[in-house]
Amino acid sequence: MPGGGAPREEVSRLLDLAWEALESEDLEAALQYGEQALALDPRDADAWYCMGECRMEGRDAGRALDAFRRAVLADPTHAEAWTSLGNLHLMRLEREEARRAFNRALREDAGNPEAWFGRALLRERRGDWDGADRDLARAARLDPETWPWPQPLTDADLEKAVEEAVRTLHPSLREYIANVAILVDEVPSDEVLSQYDPPIWPGELLGYFSGYSLMERSTDDPWSQLPSSIVLFRRNLQRFARDRETLVEELRITIYHEVGHFLGLDEEDLKERGLE
């Protein structure tokens, strides 16, 4: 029974409204409903879990971490909260904490595909490709729509798709791309991920610009004259590449974004210059 004698039905009603608001991208309303639910019962694990998801949507990693911890303290069997806690630790590059959280989530619910997927990403951080693929396969079997089995991408596949994506760019951007090497890594390194604040989920990053932008180059700094590159992350792209059309479009967006970094511009700057 919620604290203060409040009926459980009212807490559930408020949480339903919070999830609906979050689904509608009304973060402010979602937070208000979540806070009202916690005011009725500050020990409700579902309410803390909901607040954690709201904080994550608001890119407030610190308060999200606190909310998920409160959720699993209130209910140690809450597999979804353990999974979200694992995902957040993974974003923060806290590998051991992430491992414990994902394993606990799977101990509570072995049929949780998101926990299997999160554990696969964690294995990728260690270079355990076989272990990662086993966990990805489990996630795909449990929920093939949300966590489909990645489509393999060879170097030749990526090269052809990149060439096709580059052909769709504005001619002026294609001239600049000719001076930038396009490389492939399996997954983003901790060094790359650590440059993002707030943290970014390791499975989200498709590409990364490495080097100096044109605006940063100087004849007084020989290091700034070194070649720049765009690094694409194969295993993340595989997860988005449900078909070739999707792959080419994701590559076009990624390359467009990273060329903007090379030019010292963001997407809005590129659009203002008619370089969409």
Per-residue pLDDT tens digits for 170-185: 887 787 777 788 899 9
How many percent of the chain have pLDDT more than 90?
60
What pLDDT shows up at residue 219? 47
pLDDT: which is higher, 166 or 270: 166
What pLDDT shows up at residue 112? 98
Q: Which of 4-13, 98-107, 161-170 has the highest mean pLDDT?
A: 98-107
What pLDDT shows up at residue 274? 54
In this predicted structure, the answer to whether residue 245 has a pLDDT above a threshold of 50 is yes
Contacts of 231 (CB under 8 A, 6+ apart): 183, 184, 185, 192, 207, 208, 209, 210
Lowest mean pLDDT among 10-14, 149-153, 267-271: 267-271
Q: How confident is the model at residue 221 (pLDDT cuts 50, 70, 90)?
A: very low
Per-residue pLDDT tens digits for 29-40: 999 999 999 999
Lowest mean pLDDT among 30-39, 47-56, 154-163, 222-231: 222-231
Strand ranges of the sheet holding 229-233, from the earlier edge strand across to the other edge: 181-185, 229-233, 207-210
In this predicted structure, the answer to whether residue 81 has a pLDDT above a threshold of 60 is yes
Does the predicted model carry a pTM greater than 0.75?
A: yes
Contacts of 100 (CB under 8 A, 6+ apart): 86
In this predicted structure, the answer to whether residue 4 has a pLDDT above a threshold of 50 is no
Q: Which residue, chain included where needed, has tokens 């209910």?
A: 75
The mean pLDDT of 247-254, rounded to a whole number, is 86
What pLDDT shows up at residue 273? 59
In this predicted structure, the answer to whether residue 82 has a pLDDT above a threshold of 50 is yes
Q: How confident is the model at residue 198 (pLDDT cuts 50, 70, 90)?
A: confident
What pLDDT shows up at residue 272? 67
Q: By CB neighbour count within 10 A (0-12 exposed, 13-18 middle, 19+ buried), where does 80 fall?
A: buried
Q: Going from the N-terminus, what domains does the chain have, and what CATH number goes with each?
A: 3-142 (1.25.40.10), 155-272 (3.30.2010.20)
What pLDDT shows up at residue 218? 46
75 residue type, one letter: D
CA distance 221 to 269: 26
Contact 55, 67 (CB under 8 A): yes
